[in-house]
Chains A and B, each alone.
Chain A
Amino acid sequence: MRAYTPKDDVQKKSYYTDRFWVAPQVPKYDVSQDAVFAADLEAIKAKFDVLDAYIQVNQMVVVIHANDNYAVLELLKNEREYPQLSEMSAIDWLASEGKFEIFYQMLSMAKRKRLRIKCKIDEKEAIQSVEKLFRSADWSEREMYDMFGVVVNNHPFMKRILMPEDWEGFPLRKTYPLQGDEFAAWYEVDRIFGKEAREIIGPENRDPARVDRYDTQRFSRLGHEVPFGTDISQGEPDTPLVYQEQKGVFMIEKFDAEKSVVISDRHR
């Protein structure tokens, strides 16, 4: 029987995992350990619902409701001295819980602190744009839309950014295969030559392990074994590797190693 492969997550899976193996956790610390973060968290808690907050690898992580995202970032920017949104993107949790997780990575230069705001939205749900607060979100949100299909409301130019505009599918979703789907495989051929050229050009070779059929030195032919290095090309001509034409080139002098200067010290 063929092994079952889940269709909602086509990423590579480890082929063996010990039954009794329990993955260790990166330690999470309580926010009260850090006075600066605790003050920031208090400020957020005063106005908004905080679902979870902890410190992991020296950065505070605050989980909020998705519809608070603009207001929380506004608070952080204007009142808590976090002037830069250094990164934002999404994580695909559709397979396990049917949601996207969106994280905003904030940086405060005055406090030398970084914190991460996270929220979750449903697959069809849209999120509020923070482009008015941080211009950097303009492109990040477009990239998020391009890669995950997360629609952002109130964005000035909600278009694909990395993939072509007529691309189909959202590449970073777990359902999208690494090597692309049918549309991706023929994209450039369809675009340049038209669909009727598919037969002439042929499918892509996606096999990195393709071998030379006449190579008997590195590969053995199972069932048709021949001695090491035997020529099995059956008279097909081989193109010899030559550096320059043997008889010399018209009006070009051959390089004379005697007359050349060898530079021993390249730092001279």
Chain B
Amino acid sequence: MAQHQVNYLKDGGLPVALTTIDKVVNWGRSNSIWALTYGLACCGIEMMASGASRYDFDRFGTIFRASPRQAELMVVAGTLTKKHAEFIRRLYDQMTEPKWVISMGSCANTGGMFNTYSTVQGVDRVIPVDLYLPGCAPRPETLQYAVMMLQQKIRKEPASRAQKPKRLM
């Protein structure tokens, strides 16, 4: 007779959790979102602040990387100008699949207050965007919220196959 009875049915009885592949892959993906430092303008400062001491994104698994090859999330933080547009596309292409984009701040969303000749009117004209984050500039808490929304989105997506193209281009 076993001295130590294990209640297999009770949660936490064994360090075993049963789940689907989709769920476990998405769990991994959603909780270690490595973001590309794409600070273009003012919002980039708030992005830095969210990586720094008070807001400390590292504890949520959101670690800023300097290289697109190591990143899966591009936080477009700031005004995208027409001169810069091709570089954002090139860096986006360099990121490995699966990849997501958060457009941070009004300028990246729609051009914002800079309704001028040299500003791209919304970064979604160049790369597909998953999440639009309003504000000028959004606070770090807002960015945190956006990352949580993105996590939710990732968990809803099927993980087992390659991502569908988000738009024609």
Q: Do chains A and B touch in the complex (CB under 8 A)?
A: yes
Assess A178 versus B116: contact at CB under 8 Å? Given A164-B83, A188-B126, A252-B31.
Answer: yes
A93 at interface, CB cutoff 8 A: no
Additional A-B contact list (15), CB under 8 Å, known A245-B155, A249-B27 = A171-B117, A176-B117, A177-B117, A178-B116, A184-B82, A187-B85, A188-B120, A192-B85, A200-B168, A201-B169, A243-B148, A245-B152, A249-B155, A250-B19, A251-B17
B118 at interface, CB cutoff 8 A: yes
Assess A204 versus B121: contact at CB under 8 Å? Given A179-B116, A193-B169.
Answer: yes
Q: Cα distance A252–B89 when bound, in Å? A: 34
Q: Is the CB of A192 within 8 A of B86?
A: yes
B69 at interface, CB cutoff 8 A: no
Q: Cα distance A164–B82 when bound, in Å? A: 8
Point out the residues of chain A lying under 8 angstroms from B17, CB to CB.
Answer: 250-251
**Which residues of B are in contact with A by a Cβ distance under 8 Å?**
17, 19, 23-24, 27, 31, 82-83, 85-86, 89, 110-111, 115-118, 120-122, 125-126, 148, 152, 155, 168-169
Q: 10 A-B contacts, Cβ less than 8 Å apart?
A: A178-B115, A180-B117, A180-B118, A184-B118, A187-B85, A188-B82, A192-B85, A197-B169, A201-B169, A206-B115
Residue picked from B24, B85, B125, B126, most chain A C-beta under 10 Å: B125
A244 at interface, CB cutoff 8 A: yes
Q: Cα distance A205–B19 when bound, in Å? A: 45
Q: Cα distance A75–B143 when bound, in Å? A: 56
**Which residues of A are in contact with B by a Cβ distance under 8 Å?**
162-164, 171, 176-181, 184, 187-189, 191-193, 197, 200-201, 204-206, 208, 242-245, 249-252
Main SS at interface, chain B: loop
Q: Is the CB of A206 within 8 A of B125?
A: no
Assess A208 versus B115: contact at CB under 8 Å? Given A245-B152, A250-B24, A250-B27.
Answer: yes
Point out the residues of chain B lying under 8 angstroms from A204, CB to CB.
Answer: 111, 121-122, 125
Q: Cα distance A211–B126 when bound, in Å? A: 23
Q: Cα distance A189–B124 when bound, in Å? A: 11
Point out the residues of chain A lying under 8 angstroms from B110, CB to CB.
Answer: 205
Point out the residues of chain B lying under 8 angstroms from A192, CB to CB.
Answer: 85-86, 89, 126
**Which A-B residue pairs are the 8 nearest by beta carbons?**
A180-B117, A188-B85, A204-B121, A184-B117, A187-B82, A164-B83, A250-B27, A188-B82
Residue picked from B19, B24, B83, B152, most chain A C-beta under 10 Å: B83
- Shortest distance in angstroms between A248's beta carbon and chain B's nearest beta carbon? 11
Q: Is the CB of B85 within 8 A of A191?
A: yes
Q: Is the CB of A188 within 8 A of B116?
A: no
Q: Is the CB of B86 within 8 A of A191?
A: yes
Point out the residues of chain B lying under 8 angstroms from A201, CB to CB.
Answer: 125, 169
Q: Is the CB of A205 within 8 A of B122?
A: yes
Point out the residues of chain A lying under 8 angstroms from B152, CB to CB.
Answer: 242, 244-245
Point out the residues of chain B lying under 8 angstroms from A206, CB to CB.
Answer: 115, 121
Residue picked from B24, B111, B117, B126, most chain A C-beta under 10 Å: B117
Q: Cα distance A176–B118 when bound, in Å? A: 12
Q: Cα distance A189–B120 when bound, in Å? A: 10
Among residues of A, the one whose C-beta sits closest to the C-beta of B31 is A252
Q: Is the CB of A244 within 8 A of B115?
A: no
Point out the residues of chain B lying under 8 angstroms from A249, CB to CB.
Answer: 27, 155
Among residues of B, the one whose C-beta sits closest to the C-beta of A160 is B83
Q: Cα distance A164–B120 when bound, in Å? A: 14
Q: Cα distance A164–B152 when bound, in Å? A: 39
- Shortest distance in angstroms between B146's beta carbon and chain A's nearest beta carbon? 12
- Shortest distance in angstroms between B123's beta carbon and chain A's nearest beta carbon? 10
Q: Cα distance A263–B31 when bound, in Å? A: 26
- Shortest distance in angstroms between A20's beta carbon and chain B's nearest beta carbon? 35
- Shortest distance in angstroms between A212's beta carbon and chain B's nearest beta carbon? 13
Q: Cα distance A180–B118 when bound, in Å? A: 7
